[in-house]
Chains A and B, each alone.
Chain A
Amino acid sequence: MKKLIDKIKAFFCDDNAKAKNAVRYFLILVAGLLFLFFSNDFDLVNVQQTAIVMAIGIDQETQDFSVTAQIAVPDAAGAQGESGTKTVNVVTQGKTVAQALDKINEKTGWYPKLVFCKLIVLGESIAQKNVFDGLEYFLRDEYISDNCLLSTCEGKAEELLSTKTPIDSSGALAIEKVLSSHAERVGTCMPNTLRTFAASYFGEARCGFLPVVKAEPLAKKEQEGGQGQQEKGQGQGGGQKGGKQGESQGGKGCESGGEGEEKVFSAGETALFKDGKKVGTLDKQETFCYALIKNKLRLAAYSLPYDDDTYTMSIKRTTPKVKLSIGEDSQLQVSIAITAGVADVSKAQGEEDTADAGDFPHEVLAVAERRLTEEIHALFEKCQALDFDLFDAIDKLQKYENEHFADKKDTLLEELKVSVEVKVGGVR
């Protein structure tokens, strides 16, 4: 026994033995690693067995969830790069989203990985219920980025993702382009991510917004494009009319979209959610106004009629400020400073006025200020009617007027008045 103890002691204490042992340990370790390396079977899901899910569509027309996974199929013979990749849509059903996603493996033999999922589209059916019934899974799972774009659509998400588009090889990638950060900067849409939408859902106001993605026929769009631009100017002159027309046309486009027909996507409208349920929609013009308040816009275009002509402003920069003051009359002060130049005028101008981003006639700026003020007022009233905290008033109440928070949080939206101050300045 003593010999054994001495041997053990020598094994661990003797310097020479230590050096020898170090090599032995190292060799044993390398041998073990080599075994693992070559056996290559320890619950690995490597790139050869993976279904790379690029987008997810969720519908819930019955109790069950219907999940559409747009999967990238790397094709060696196909074009190179992300855009050249073929995609397939796999539709599965389940009592929960997770159960439905697991069925992808049953159907295809691939294990779905959502790490590259950059888009979640919520169908109209689920938007009418609590969307977090379907989104909870994505927040829970550590292996899904909460940075993916979240949007809703009219009709079924499955149909939207199945839409063929000439813009990109897959619907998901084309929709991502429409919801890009550039689109956000120019105010054509209000994209949102899972994280920010969830954060607002769990906030005090429990209000959130999502862009509404629509598929529109390519040929029709082109025809309507010209009209639309004309209408836009006129429509903006006429308040919400133009926007509503656009909405209905978009809706039709989506519904009439056949399997083989190529379409383009738009996301000019914004759906409003309270407690996870859709409570209303902002049309394109309202979305633009909301973008003007919420974001700092750059290179945005805004058209307005003046003196029988249509002027299109190129907005260089905007500085929005929203301030809540609590007193006897709770008031929300919205002030927006806009710097803009002339992008175009519907009639030819004189030689001196055609310089790039030239200045407006003073009256045009005044008209723009007046119109934007009116539109923001209208937007506020619409949201107030929906009991929707679009301007983050409750959030501001909590942060900056916390002493009134307990008293006012339930009644604030009803009582709130808004004062809007829009200053539009030329670039010179």
Chain B
Amino acid sequence: MTKIDEAPAINTRQLCFLLAFLFPVARFLEAPRLFAVAAKGDLLVSALVASLVEILPVAAFLFISSKTDKTLFQLVEAAFGKWVARIFSLILCAYFLFAAVPPLFDAEKFSYAAFFDTAPTVFSFAPFFIFSAFLCTKNVKAIGRSADLCLFLFLFPFLGLIVMSVGESDFSSLLPIFSQPFTHSLQGVVSTKAHFSCGALLLPLLGRYRYEKGAVKKVSIAYGASVLFTLLFLAVFYGIYTTLAAREHYAFAKIAQYFPALTVVGRWDMLLVYLLTVVYAFYVCLPLQLAVDCFCQGTLLQQKTLFSALLNLAAFLFVLFLNQHYDAVYGLFTSTLSPVFFLFSDLLPLFLPLLLLHKRVKAGAR
């Protein structure tokens, strides 16, 4: 057993908070626009389908957790041997690096739009990688605790923004439901898959999460809340922008600006947006944190600080050089490369329970 395997666990509450308060922010930045482009007024249908698809890996995660205390690495090791487990960890590490690209790009463009009055240089985003490098050195326990913090950092600003913007929203814009062909809604699911791929993010938490009685109910409620937050936000977003929705990038920084009192007191809604940005920053760092974790497991090396520094430097250079080709890269991730997200965040978790049937895995089961 490696040192990482001994990392402290997260509990059911923290898992619930991850699902309910951390993952939804991923869907507030560019996903609403992508939904609107694909499904127009049927964006809620599209989002609901995407959310339903995402339930499966969450259910698989809970099922495996209820059956065994083994980590993902140990499961694969028990079934296929040490070397396969290591290679698997490195593949997963590569996937997390891949999965970090869309949120990183979102975060970069969002930061330029929401935090500045004039277009800043690309280096303005550089501090993010210092932040990320710090987070990557932390363990799973810190991820759980950040989820606890997200309860306050997410709920208060999210509800604040919704209250401020709901008055301006015309929900009748969402009518009629199913006005678009269902294929359009499915297109929305495909193009936003990068934002609905929390299934893969849960995999490294296997074995570090302590399954408790009643967890299924709690996690279901948390996931329901997550879907509710997403749908509420999308409804308000489309109600405000209607026909303009497809051209509105990073709407969540803008939806509250129509609140009448802000003309008197200034854009104080931005403070709520900045609080949510803290949650988003935690979210963007999550795949990078897990990538470092998987890398350390795969290589059996413990130099987390070194790896996180190198990895974030690489990520910074990636963003720096591909900044000029933002649309092309982003387009690639939301269309051609979508199957990769399906593969790792949906199919892989669904196949993992099969490992429990293996006799060596069975031997270590609860």
Q: A contacts B directly in the complex (CB < 8 Å)?
A: yes
Residues of A within 8 A of B (CB): 8-9, 12-13, 18, 21, 29, 42-43, 45, 111, 113, 115, 118, 139, 142-143, 145-147, 181, 195, 198-200, 202-203, 398-400, 402
Chain B residues lying within 8 Å of A9, measured Cβ to Cβ, are: 303
CB-contact partner of B306 in A12, A111, A200, A402, under 8 A:
A12
Q: Which residue of B lies closest to A204 (CB)?
A: B243
B153 to chain A, nearest CB (A): 24
Please determine whether B303 and A399 come into contact, CB atoms closer than 8 angstroms. Answer: no
Inter-subunit contact B244/A195 (CB<8 Å): yes
- Closest chain A CB from B102 CB (angstroms): 19
A69 CB → nearest B CB, Å:
16
Are B257 and A115 touching (Cβ within 8 A)? no
Could you list 7 examples of A-B contacts with CB < 8 Å?
A8-B306, A12-B304, A21-B305, A142-B113, A143-B116, A143-B119, A400-B176
Contact pick for B179, options A146, A200, A402, CB 8 Å: A402
User: Which B residues are CB-close (under 8 A) to A21?
Assistant: 305
Q: For the complex, is B274 an interface residue (Cβ under 8 Å from A)?
A: no
B244 with A202: CB separation less than 8 A: yes
How near does chain B come to A102, taking the closest CB pair, in angstroms? 12
Residues in A whose Cβ lies below 8 Å from that of B117: 45, 113, 115, 143
Contact of A199 among B120, B243, B250, B302 (CB under 8 A): B243
How many angstroms between the C-alpha atoms of A42 and B123 in the bound complex? 10
> A142–B305 contact, CB under 8 A?
no
User: Is the CB–CB distance between A111 and B118 below 8 Å?
Assistant: yes
Q: Using known A-B contacts A199-B242, A202-B244, determine if residue A12 contacts B303 with beta carbons closer than 8 Å.
A: yes
Q: Is residue B125 within 8 Å, beta carbon to beta carbon, of the partner chain?
A: no
**The residue from B119, B120, B242, B247 contacting A203, defined by CB atoms under 8 A apart:** B242
**Bound Cα distance A115, B117 (Å):** 7
Q: Cα distance A193–B119 when bound, in Å?
A: 24
B330 vs chain A, min Cβ distance (A): 16
Q: Which 5 A-B pairs rank lowest in CB-CB distance, beginning with the nearest?
A: A202-B243, A399-B175, A402-B176, A12-B306, A142-B113
Of the listed residues B119, B240, B244, B303, the one surrounded by the most CB atoms of chain A closer than 10 A to its CB is B244
B121 CB contacts on chain A under 8 angstroms:
42-43
Question: Contact string, B121-142, partner A, CB cutoff 8 A, digits 1/0?
Answer: 1010000001000000000000
- Supposing A195-B241, A202-B244 touch, asked if A12 and B305 sit within 8 A by C-beta, the answer is yes
| Count of residues in B whose CB is under 8 Å from the partner chain | 33
> Who on chain B is nearest to A111 by CB?
B118
Residue of B nearest to A201 (CB): B243
Chain A residues near B242: list those with CB within 8 A: 199, 203
B81 contacts the other chain (Cβ, under 8 Å)?
no
With A21-B305, A203-B243, A400-B176 given, can you name 8 additional A-B contacts, CB distance below 8 Å? A12-B305, A18-B305, A42-B121, A45-B117, A142-B112, A145-B254, A145-B257, A399-B176
B331 adjacent to chain A (CB < 8 Å): no
Residue B208 is within 8 A (CB to CB) of chain A in the complex: no
Q: Which residue of chain B is the closest to A143 with respect to CB atoms?
A: B117
Report Cα–Cα, A146/B251, bound state, in Å.
Answer: 12
| Minimal beta-carbon separation of A160 from chain B (angstroms) | 22
In angstroms, how far is the closest chain A Cβ from the Cβ of B192?
Answer: 21
Task: Compute how far the CA of A115 lies from the CA of B247 in the bound complex, rounded to whole angstroms.
Answer: 19
How many angstroms from the CA of A119 to the CA of B118 in the assembled complex? 20
> Given A13-B302, A18-B305, are A400 and B175 also a contact pair (CB < 8 Å)?
yes
User: Majority SS of interface residues in chain A?
Assistant: helix
Indicate if the CB atoms of B244 and A139 lie closer than 8 Å: yes
Which of A142, A181, A202 contacts B260, CB < 8 Å? A181
Specify which chain B residues have a CB less than 8 angstroms from the CB of A111 in the assembled complex.
118
Which single residue of chain A is at the shortest CB-CB distance from B253? A142
Smallest CB gap from B121: residue in A: A43
Tell me, yes or no, whether B183 is within 8 Å of chain A by CB: no
Q: How many angstroms between the C-alpha atoms of A198 and B117 in the bound complex?
A: 23
Please measure, in the bound complex, the distance between the C-alpha atom of A45 and the C-alpha atom of B258, giving whole angstroms.
26
- A74 to B263, alpha carbons, bound, how many Å? 19
B249 within 8 A of A: yes
Q: Which residue, A45, A111, A139, A142, has most C-beta atoms of chain B within 10 A?
A: A142
Q: Are A199 and B241 in contact (CB under 8 A)?
A: yes
State A113–B118 Cα separation when bound (angstroms).
8
- CA–CA, A199 and B179, complex, Å: 19
**Cross-chain contact A143 with B305 (CB below 8 angstroms):** no
B239 CB to nearest A CB, Å: 11
B248 (CB) vs chain A CBs: closest residue:
A146
For B246, give the chain A residue with the smallest CB separation.
A202
A143 CA to B118 CA in the complex, in Å? 7
Q: CB-CB < 8 A to B263: which residues of A?
A: 118
Whether, in the assembled complex, B299 has its beta carbon less than 8 Å from a beta carbon of chain A, the answer is no
Is B260 a contact of A147 with CB atoms below 8 Å? no
With A9-B303, A203-B242 known as contacts, the answer to whether A399 contacts B172 (CB < 8 A) is yes
Question: Residues of B contacting A115 with CB < 8 Å?
Answer: 117
In the bound assembly, the distance between CA atoms of A326 and B48 in angstroms comes to: 31
Kindly state the separation between the CA atoms of A113 and B119 in the bound complex, as whole angstroms: 11
- Contact indicator A142/B249 (Cβ below 8 Å): yes
Chain B residues near A139: list those with CB within 8 A.
244, 247
- How far, in Å, is A181 (CB) from chain B's closest CB? 6
**Measured between alpha carbons, how far is A18 from B308 in the docked complex, in Å?**
14
Instruction: Across the interface, name the chain A residue whose C-beta is closest to B176.
Output: A402
By a CB distance below 8 angstroms, the chain B residues around A181 are: 260
Of chain A, the residue at the smallest CB distance from B303 is A12
- Interfacial chain A residues near B306, Cβ < 8 Å: 8, 12
A199 to B118, CA, bound (A): 25
Bound Cα distance from A329 to B173, whole angstroms: 25
The chain A residue with its CB closest to the CB of B305 is A12
Q: How far is A145 from B130 in the complex, measured between Cα atoms in Å?
A: 31
Nearest A-chain residue to B116, judged by Cβ: A143
Q: Which residue of A lies closest to B241 (CB)?
A: A199
Whether the pair A198, B244 counts as a contact (CB closer than 8 A) is yes
A139 vs B243: C-alpha distance when bound (angstroms): 13
- Give, as a whole number of angstroms, the nearest-CB distance from B62 to chain A: 35
Contact of A45 among B118, B175, B176, B303 (CB under 8 A): B118
A202 contacts across to B, CB distance below 8 A: 243-244
Q: Are B130 and A29 in contact (CB under 8 A)?
A: yes
Query: C-beta contact mask, B247-284 vs A, less than 8 Å → 1, else 0?
Result: 10110001001101001000000000000000000000
Question: Does B244 lie within 8 Å of A43, measured CB to CB?
Answer: no
Q: Which residues of A contact B119 (CB under 8 A)?
A: 143
**What is the CA–CA distance of A312 and B356 in the complex, to the nearest angstrom?**
82
Shortest distance from the beta carbon of A111 to any chain B beta carbon, whole Å? 7
A199 to B258, CA, bound (A): 15
Q: Which of B130, B240, B303 contacts A13 (CB 8 A)?
A: B303
CA gap between A12 and B244 in the complex, in Å: 51
Which residues of chain A are near B118, meaning CB under 8 Å?
43, 45, 111, 113, 143
**Which of A8, A29, A143, A199 is close to B244, meaning CB atoms less than 8 Å apart?**
A199
- With A and B bound together, what is the CA distance between A398 and B41 in angstroms? 11
- Please encode chain B, from 161 to 188, with 1 for each CB lying within 8 Å of some chain A CB and 0 for all others: 0000000000011011001000000000
Bound Cα distance A115, B119 (Å): 13
Docked Cα-Cα span, A349 to B240, in Å, equals 49
